[in-house]
């Protein structure tokens, strides 16, 4: 992926993180929590046979499992993952990403380029961007 233009023209390319870690639908929430901690991220894609089938976030762990007293080692990622995965094209603006997150009530978006997954951004990434570059 070639990044054309500066941070103002291509903000999603500038702020996204590549997808380097995933979990499987059959991973326990204990494994998911450990992977999130080790990668220092708030969400991971759930991958099955080369496809991204969902996303699991820290909020999913808390709201859908832990708060209900479910043992983390007995609940699987597939039980709490959000699906479908919400995506935004890399050519869209930071404002578009922010609007989509607010509209859908989500904190993470998967970035695509020509239909391929190339990265992910979070609300925190957007806040950092707006702090540094202002509202465009």
Kindly report the CATH number assigned to the domain that includes residue 16: 3.10.580.10
What whole-number distance in Å separates Cα of residue 87 and Cα of residue 78?
19
Domains identified in the chain, total number = 1
Per-residue pLDDT at 3: 42
Would 65 be classed as within a structural domain?
Answer: yes
Would 4 be classed as within a structural domain?
Answer: no
Res 135 pLDDT > 60: no
Which SS3 state, helix, strand or coil, does residue 20 take? Answer: coil
Residue 39: domain span: 11-133
Would 54 be classed as within a structural domain?
Answer: yes
Per-residue pLDDT at 2: 44
Would 1 be classed as within a structural domain?
Answer: no
Question: Could you read off the pLDDT of 93-115 as tens digits, one per residue?
Answer: 888 999 999 999 999 999 999 99
What whole-number distance in Å separates Cα of residue 61 and Cα of residue 65?
5
What whole-number distance in Å separates Cα of residue 46 and Cα of residue 55?
5
Report whether the peptide linkage leading into residue 48 is cis, meaning its omega lies within 30 degrees of zero: no
Would 15 be classed as within a structural domain?
Answer: yes
Q: Enter the pTM of the model.
A: 0.83
Question: Could you read off the pLDDT of 31-89 as tens digits, one per residue?
Answer: 999 999 999 999 999 999 999 999 999 999 988 887 777 788 889 999 999 999 999 99
């Amino acid at each position: 992926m070639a990044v054309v233009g500066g941070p103002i023209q291509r903000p999603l390319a500038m702020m996204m993180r590549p997808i380097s870690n995933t979990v499987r639908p059959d991973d326990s929430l204990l494994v998911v929590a450990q992977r999130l901690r080790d990668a220092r991220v708030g969400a991971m894609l759930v991958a099955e046979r080369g496809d991204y089938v969902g996303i699991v976030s820290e909020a999913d762990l808390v709201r859908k499992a832990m708060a209900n007293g479910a043992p983390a080692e007995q609940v699987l990622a597939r039980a709490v993952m959000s699906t479908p995965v919400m995506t935004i094209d890399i050519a869209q603006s930071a404002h578009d990403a922010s609007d989509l997150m607010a509209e859908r009530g989500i904190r993470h978006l998967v970035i695509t380029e020509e239909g391929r997954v190339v990265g992910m951004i979070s609300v925190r990434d957007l806040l950092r961007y707006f702090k540094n570059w202002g509202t465009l």
